[in-house]
Chains A and B, each alone.
Chain A
Amino acid sequence: MLTLALAYLRDRGLVTLLNIVLLALAVAMLVILLLFSTQAADRFARDSRGIDLVVGAKGSPLQLILSSVYHVDTATGNIPLQSLELLRNDPGVARAIPLALGDSFRGFRIVGTEPDFLGLHDARLAVGRMYAAPGEAVLGAEVARVTGAAVGQKFVGSHGLDDSQAHAATPFSVVGVLAPTGTVTDRLILTSIASVWAVHGIAHPHAHGDEGSGDHHNHDHATDAPHGAVLDPRGGPQPEITAILISYRNAMAAIRLPAAINRQTALQSASPAAETARLLTLFGAAIEGARIFAWLLALTAGLSIFVVLLSASRSREGDMALLQVMGATRWQVMGVVLLEGLMMAAAGALIGLVAGHALIGVGRMAFPTLADIGLSPWLLHPGEAAIVAAMLGIGTVAAVIPALRVFRTDLALTLSRGS
């Protein structure tokens, strides 16, 4: 019966192909939406683990989170280094990790921070040692893989997130490579804050000349804000940092700290959980719209299968009667029609699954931001099984009514008609 069902599908190849393509499109779209929404949400959750609050320069709180936690946006500006000490002395703060952003190497962000940063994402050194002296850097696993850089090699960072303004005079030395963590750390180059200051410090006059040095509120945030020092009103360099990642010591801190920080004229605080939820809500509406469209596409494919099978079951009434007279049971004959619907649905689902993952891979290559948020074509989601099951259900339901015609066929009358 399987051979016969396949033969019928081949016999009207073009229509079969059209139905399979329709279903495959729907499945591919659903898979992309599922993987994007779940992987992005998972990645956001992993990357923000252990960070209760982010403190940075005034501006968009979402931008602060995106730049300081997920490292996919430009920073909002600089904050005074003294803020770090103030927060560390606060009894509600269990951990405060400073970040100094501004430069990159081949699109990978160079992050000036303290070794505690590794603890956020349970990162461990795979090779080499942790940075110590200024100018030393540790690479995330993905950075090392993509750039091919290894311990002992030197590289030159560039201002912002492109390679147009290189800091050729202050190269970094790779002293270690981290093991993969599945978090944003894989895509970061970690160094000390002092290193970032050294690159952008007073030893390099160009460092802040085009970024409103002396007044971080006037920074051009279209480029990744570079940070290290501003001129003190008294004439000396005043070190700055970009953001501080805070972990609360107790629940009371969650109530008191954000309000206290936001009262400061130069500082703002943002909660990764709240901002990520807001971001996912914004994404969510678009994703839901696309998801509804994809399901409508799947139902259209189901309707098309129904029409094709109904028409085929009418034109093949003679075959169906013949099969029964030759010895097939009515259930077997019905099974042929059901198999046709199922096989179209299965082919559409399979092709759609592969296409969905392949398109994510292509999209990741075409749009680096997708790679930045950790979207991977190789991860399977249990929800994909539900999508496949739904497509098989659609194929089966579409075939049931045409298949039931078998029970209404008058064998003698049908066989006496012209073939």
Chain B
Amino acid sequence: MTQAFDRHILFLPQTNGDAYTLGPLQSGPPCCVPEPLIRVKDLSVHYGDHPALEHVTLDIYKGCITALIGPSGCGKTSFLCALNRLTDLISGCRVEGGIRIGIQDVLDPRLDVPALRREVGMIFQKPNPFSLSIRRNIEMPLKEHGMRKRAELDETVERVLIDVGLWAEVKDRLDRSALALSGGQQQRLCIARALALEPAVLLMDEPCSALDPLSSGVVEDLIGRLRGRYTVVIVTHNLAQARRIANYAAFFWLHERVGTLIEFGQCRQIFEAPAHGLTAAYVNGAKG
């Protein structure tokens, strides 16, 4: 018996009346209701015998952008993958602890995982559009999840492409291969593809690191505009980027070769007045 995923808990009222745009870019401090959406308690991720992440407890707030910062190898990506159960796909991976999204226990073995992954979308470091046309890249997941009417599909494709700022660039070549797009365009297409499923949460694993600076800036802008309407968790090595777009920041570090959470709080506080010495050293570039 599978537990259906309750969408209503996650549904967020749109802060802007306009259905087609995400609104103007808002910078800096919190603009959203500081209500925790995802509660992580004592999370540990093991690959075989080796623990990658241990005893992580933090809350992800609704509608806000939370940045996960810290050096390579401290489990930030593992943390992200646990949130949408992508860890299920890695052989030998074991996740312990508790993750609740709304009232749903993510780690419940009876959970309908495909429904979870529809609610919690993921963007990868390397853009991975399928070897299909631009239109089919977005339509195919929609069709698989039950959307059938042509009018609805067309409308969704147009809407998400406008949202990510690609519409003007690709509206005349929707049926050409997605692989012909540039890196930045491909990444935006991947975001559009994820947005088409109307998730509540977007997980992003270093979405700009494989892009050139110009494309990186465009994608970063887009992520900033997602604030308020989506809950975003973004792993980034770029501290300046985190500072620019995040509301909250979680600092991870390696302790005896196991990743742990050192400090978590509002972005401004982490960067300007960190409580932990290690955090201060890292954000000031002295370590890591």
Interaction A to B: no
